[in-house]
Amino acid sequence: MSEERLVIRRSGFPSKGEIVIGTVTRVMDFGAFVSLDEYEGREGLVHISEVAPGWIKDIRDHVKKGQKVVCKVLDVNPKRGHIDLSIKDVNERQRREKLQEWKSEQRAFKWLEIAGEKVGVDGKELEKIGKKLLRKFDSIYAAFEEVAYEGYEVIAKIAGEELAKEIAELAREHIKPSTVSVRGYFELKSFAPDGIERIKKALSVVKKYHSDGAEIEVEYVGAPKYRIVIRTEDYKAAETLLKRVIDDVTKAMKKLGGEANFVREAI
């Protein structure tokens, strides 16, 4: 792992109207150049007229090299590589929310780095994985939030199972969702004349768990699949409950002369 801190940046250009965060790299009499922290190799210009409301005598009274600024994207010209920015068009609420969002994202970069170190994934590979997570979830922090709520399966195809499980551990440690969920589907078959009724009877055993402080949904997907979604306040409790539900429904279905198989669903 490189000693340089891991930062995952987006490819391409920001969108017009987007609120972005950046670092002032040069201050000229006519404006300030800002390196966009979230975008790979992108720099924009804040014209002096967009630095602050009213007439500006000296731009250096308002912005300095190395300063972190929150800007609104006024215009983008990908062919010429130009990005026009405004500082004055960002209100205090937008500025505060963007700064908080960026702080959360930096924490997520660190968590991803720690997870990579634990399972032996190097910085270059982490960056590739991070870019894929960005494309799917829009931010690395949002990916961690999703994992905290839904379990490691949500990113297993992108990160690989080993890294995904490590990320899930960190996500559950640092992000406390109000509820978490686990899910999968049963494949239930009965060749008896009243097969549908037998399947319903086997699935009805989940009703006894509703009083355990968990929310359980049973949804017909299409023969022979029936999805089960369990939501609780604790991930381990959800996993334990899912195991009990799998065991009970499987036993009930076999007792009724049918077949049962459970498949954990990747979200």
Which domain CATH number covers 226?
Answer: 3.30.70.1130
6 in a structural domain = no
- Neighbour tally for 250: CB within 10 Å: 19
Residue 43 sits in a domain whose CATH number is: 2.40.50.140
Q: Quick one: 146 and 197 in the same domain?
A: no
248 vs 216: CA distance, rounded Å: 14
pLDDT for the residue numbered 5? 85
3-class DSSP state for residue 231? strand
Comparing CA positions, the residue from 167, 93, 72, 87 lying closest to residue 126 is 167
Residue 152's CATH number: 1.10.150.190
Task: Render each residue's pLDDT in the chain as its tens digit; 267 residues.
Answer: 345 789 999 999 999 999 999 999 999 999 999 999 999 999 999 999 999 999 999 999 999 999 999 999 999 999 999 999 999 999 999 999 999 999 999 999 999 999 999 999 998 999 999 999 999 999 999 999 999 888 899 999 999 999 999 999 999 889 876 677 788 989 999 999 999 999 999 999 888 876 556 788 888 888 789 999 888 877 778 888 899 999 999 999 999 999 999 998 765
pLDDT for 2: 41
Q: What CA–CA distance (Å, rounded) separates 249 from 260? A: 8
Q: Which residue(s) pair with 24 in the sheet?
A: 34
Q: Point out the domain boundary residue: 174, 209, 235.
A: 174
Q: Which two tokens stand for residue 61?
A: 């009274």
Tell whether 205 is covered by a domain: yes
Q: What is the tens place of the pLDDT at every residue in 172-213?
A: 889 876 677 788 989 999 999 999 999 999 999 888 876 556
Give the 3-state secondary structure percentages of the chain, helix then strand then coil, rounded to 5: 45, 25, 30
Do 162 and 203 fall within a single domain? Answer: no
Phi, psi of 193 (to 5 degrees): -55, -35
| Residue 102 CB contacts under 8 Å (≥ 6 apart), including other chains | 21, 37, 38
30 lies in which domain range?
Answer: 19-89
Domain membership of residue 38 (yes or no) is yes
Query: What are the backbone angles phi and psi of residue 215, rounded to the nearest 5°?
Result: -105, 125
Residue 12 belongs to a domain: no
**Does any domain span residue 234?**
yes
- Run of H or E residues at 46: strand 43-47
State how far Cα 54 lies from the chain centre.
40
| Separation CA 155–CA 8 (nearest Å) | 16
Bridge-partner residues for 152, per DSSP?
none
Q: How far apart are CA 122 and CA 4, in angstroms?
A: 12
Q: Which residues are CB-contacts of 173 (< 8 A; sequence separation ≥ 6)?
A: none
Domain count along the chain: 3
